[in-house]
Amino acid sequence: MKLTIDTEAQTLSCEDGGTPRSLPLYSDAAFDLLSQQWLKIGWNQKYAYSFSWMGRPIIQLPEDMVRTQEVIYRVRPDLIIETGVAHGGSLIFYASLFKAMGKGRVIGIDIEIRPHNRQAIEAHELFQHITLIEGSSTASAIVEKVKSMVKPSETVMVILDSNHTKQHVLDELVAYHDLVTPGSYIVATDGSMKDLHDVPRGKPEWSWDHPTAAAAEFAATHPQFVIEQPAWPFNESKLKHNLTYWPGAWLRRR
């Protein structure tokens, strides 16, 4: 794709193997096209690696964080289960929302929780809302341990943010989907890999090996779930599409 911005004429010219077209620069369509490229370049330049939440690194696009907050406040889960811990920033983020809401707890699962990250998470003032589990998120013993910690009356949301290969995410979806309560979600994050296979830090196999493909395959065989981008609770613009690293990620249980 070839994009040409003319700030004087206020146009965006786009050529993508077909007939060139020109868009008003200050239009929703131009915003969408430029946003797609911004997301790709930003990912390659590690823009998401420049944020923290209450002292802990959080490797997320801020827009995804805010959109997730909107869903958490609406669904009001009692428990969020997240696969993938890393520095613990996401766990602290969810715990801070629960602290403000006066309810909720978080379970974080990772195949390896590095000692310095564990120490920092356990020393954090919000750790009382967090449980850490070390082990493979798809190992039967770990899955059963997590399930044993869920109380029958709890509203549960699951966020998958560990190994992002299609097969691993599909295995996680199968393992944890039955914990999700009706109206809540299981989220297969980082499907933007499908759009990043051709950037310098990307990999060619990401064109097919990514979480969005896993979510689509799962939804096709589990009709109790529907892929549905949560609606924006507030929108005074005419824009309709998220700026996200999580395309096709949100699976709502009917």
pLDDT in single tens digits along all 254 residues of the chain:
899 999 999 999 999 888 889 999 999 999 999 999 999 999 999 999 999 999 999 999 999 999 999 999 999 999 999 999 999 999 999 999 999 999 999 999 999 999 999 999 999 999 999 999 999 999 999 999 999 999 999 999 999 999 999 999 999 999 999 999 999 999 999 999 999 999 999 999 999 999 999 999 999 999 999 999 999 999 999 999 999 999 999 999 99
> Domain 52-253 class?
alpha beta
Alpha carbons within 13 A on the beta-carbon side of 140: 0
Computed over its alpha carbons, how large is the radius of gyration of the chain?
A: 19
Q: Read off the tokens for 129.
A: 């809302």
- 3-state SS assignment for residue 141: helix
Residue 188, H or E segment: strand 185-188
pLDDT at 18: 80
pLDDT score for 16: 86
Determine the pLDDT at residue 166.
98
Tokens describing residue 219: 């939804």
Between CA 90 and CA 70 the distance in angstroms is 15
3-state secondary structure 30-56: HHHHHHHHHHHHHHHCCHHHHCEECCE
The pair of structure tokens assigned to 6 is 């003319």
Domain(s) of CATH 3.40.50.150: residues in the chain:
52-253
Contacts of 247 (CB under 8 A, 6+ apart): 191, 192, 194, 195, 212
Kindly report the pTM of this predicted structure: 0.97
